[in-house]
Structure 1
Amino acid sequence: MNNLMKTGLGLILACCMPFTHAQSAPKVIDLTSRPGVIQRMLVLAPAQPKAAVILLAGGHGGLQISPDGNIHWGKDNFLVRTRQLFADQGFLVVVPDAPSDRLSPPFLRGSRETPEHVTDIKAVIAWIRSQTKAPVWLVGTSRGTQSAAYVATQLAPPDGPDGIALSSSILVDDREGASVLSMPVEKLKIPVLIVHHEQDGCHLCPYTLIPKLMNKLTDAPRKQLLSFTGGENIGNACNSAAHHGYNGLDNEVVGKMSTWMLAN
């Protein structure tokens, strides 16, 4: 049994290193999501949250969050690096790690569309609902959109989210799972926000397929596309420093996303 498992069952709260502009000190929270499995998450909580966001990182999703809140992988991921910006907009922010039974390679690769993953995210949503009556949004970027979209198709509120926001959506199937386009998103009856960079060069996320995704959201009571151009484009086209990760556009993207999500 690893050190994380030894923390035991139930909720375990530990204060982390404070952020300069945090409204309250971030915390690491461990909760039992499945028998013998601990789901760790980093939480930023304003005094009176307007809504809550669960920020699902892309890639393999194994952030390897330490008890003091240090993130050992994915610090530059769009949603991970902008977590404080979401908190500044009035959101209760939750950044989940991979669960304790997937804390080594391949982490979440190939498992984002499984009952176990749904159960883990369901536990995170339930914890948030125990803390606030504010709406809960699942927000995914890149591979995280596979998680957010799949969970939303499996769980309706209150077990599932009240809305989802998908940035840099995976739109092409590959060996790591189905694309968002291949999922039954037409049955979603919650608000859906689609965020995409028009110059996204990642081969799994072509902007040309975005109209097809928007047209498939037939039952969403509210849906919106926020598209962006410009910023910096550095290195691998599927990484966070490229247009795929909205490099140089953090404030604009988070600001527009927040305005739309809080407009209910």
Structure 2
Amino acid sequence: MLFRAFWRVLALCALCWAVGSHADGEIWRLPSRPGAEVSVFWLPAASPAFANVVLFPGGGGGFGRVVNGLPDSENFLVRIAAPLAQAGLNVAIFGRASDHGALDYPDRVTDWHLADIHQVLAAVRQRAPGPLWLMGTSRGTVSAAAAAIQEGAAIDGLVLTSSVVGDKPGALPGQALARIRVPTLLMHHQHDACTVCQPERVPALLPALSQAPVKALWWIDGGGSPSGNICGPLHWHGFIGQDAELARRLAGWMRQPRATP
């Protein structure tokens, strides 16, 4: 117990020496486990915040380099970080642990990864008390769902976009979704061609979220011209061409969660 308390204090104290301050946001490096720290990009809301949101990008995780005050990753959630902040959310982008590289599927349901997430959530609460949401995209949905299950009532809501529903470790159909007891939004592009995010398998997640007080499924269509890998951020999988509109809609739903009609 004392050991866990020690690391919790270290994580919170790390806010006092957050490094890499930028015009718009700042990078935190939070002690999370013995000999390890996790990076976070923090972007405060442009106006008084109505909530905090921790973003879990897909792929191998991380948020790229910080250029002119903002991270340069092409991942969907990293791209909409600034619009979410404009819409009234304090945004924390979960980065990577110092003792691990890219986050693969199995990594995202490990004890060490969930411990890192727990410390990040504690740091966000210390920095900005208020409702706390989790949002993941693609592989990041594995992390976000696993953390929502572990954290229980300590979080206030969950958003899952381009959910992993295929045969991968940590895929959402294999997680204990019935243990999630917070408002939950699923958002998926109708033309997502990623082989582990098949649109036809997404609706089955709704009944699995049996204890969520409010749950909704949004089907997205249209957008810009898709390019690159079908599982990449610039294809339908990454909602290309719709960043500002989707950020606005997501923030609106988080303000007032409503079930799918």
Report matched runs for 1:4-83 at 5 Å. 10-11=13-14, 12-18=17-23, 25-46=24-45, 48-63=48-63, 65=65, 71=71, 75-83=73-81
What does the per-residue CA deviation read over 1:62-118, in whole Å, with 9 as the maximum and x for residues that have no partner? 4455799674xx71100011110110011000012111111x3xx211310011111
Q: 1:36 Cα shift?
A: 1.6
Which of residues 131, 153, 167 is equivalent to 1:173? 167
Structure 1 position 217 matched with structure 2 position 209? yes
Note closer, same or farther for the CA distance 1:65–1:32 as it changes in structure 2 (3 Å cut). farther
Q: 1:60 Cα shift?
A: 0.9
RMSD between aligned residues: 2.0
Partners of 2:187 and 2:219 within 8 A in 1: yes
DSSP 3-state at the match of 1:155: helix
The residue that corresponds to 2:183 in the other structure is: 191
Q: 1:183 Cα shift?
A: 0.6
The residue that corresponds to 1:257 in the other structure is: 250
Give the Cα–Cα distance (whole angstroms) in 1 for the partners of residues 69 and 110 of structure 2: 27
Work out the number of aligned pairs and report it: 242
Partners of 2:25 and 2:70 within 8 A in 1: no
What TM-score comes out, normalization by structure 1 length? 0.86
Q: 1:128 Cα shift?
A: 1.2
Q: 1:217 Cα shift?
A: 1.0
Unaligned 5+ segments in structure 1 are 1-7, 19-24
Note closer, same or farther for the CA distance 1:67–1:246 as it changes in structure 2 (3 Å cut). closer
Amino acid in structure 2 at the alignment position of 1:137: W
DSSP 3-state at the match of 2:60: coil
Give the Cα–Cα distance (whole angstroms) in 1 for the partners of residues 79 and 117 of structure 2: 21
Amino acid in structure 2 at the alignment position of 1:202: C
Partners of 1:166 and 1:193 within 8 A in 2: yes
Partners of 1:80 and 1:95 within 8 A in 2: yes
What TM-score comes out, normalization by structure 2 length? 0.87
Amino acid in structure 1 at the alignment position of 2:76: F
Name the % identity.
Answer: 33
DSSP 3-state at the match of 1:196: strand
Amino acid in structure 2 at the alignment position of 1:261: M
Give the Cα–Cα distance (whole angstroms) in 2 for the partners of residues 197 and 44 of structure 1: 27
Amino acid in structure 1 at the alignment position of 2:180: L
Give the Cα–Cα distance (whole angstroms) in 2 for the partners of residues 84 and 16 of structure 1: 16
Amino acid in structure 1 at the alignment position of 2:195: H
Amino acid in structure 1 at the alignment position of 2:49: P
Give the Cα–Cα distance (whole angstroms) in 1 for the partners of residues 69 and 97 of structure 2: 15
Note closer, same or farther for the CA distance 1:67–1:211 as it changes in structure 2 (3 Å cut). closer
More helix by share: 2
The residue that corresponds to 1:127 in the other structure is: 123
Amino acid in structure 2 at the alignment position of 1:250: D
Partners of 1:42 and 1:69 within 8 A in 2: no
Report matched runs for 1:90-239 at 5 Å. 90-102=88-100, 104=101, 107-109=102-104, 110-158=106-154, 161-174=155-168, 177-231=169-223, 232-239=225-232
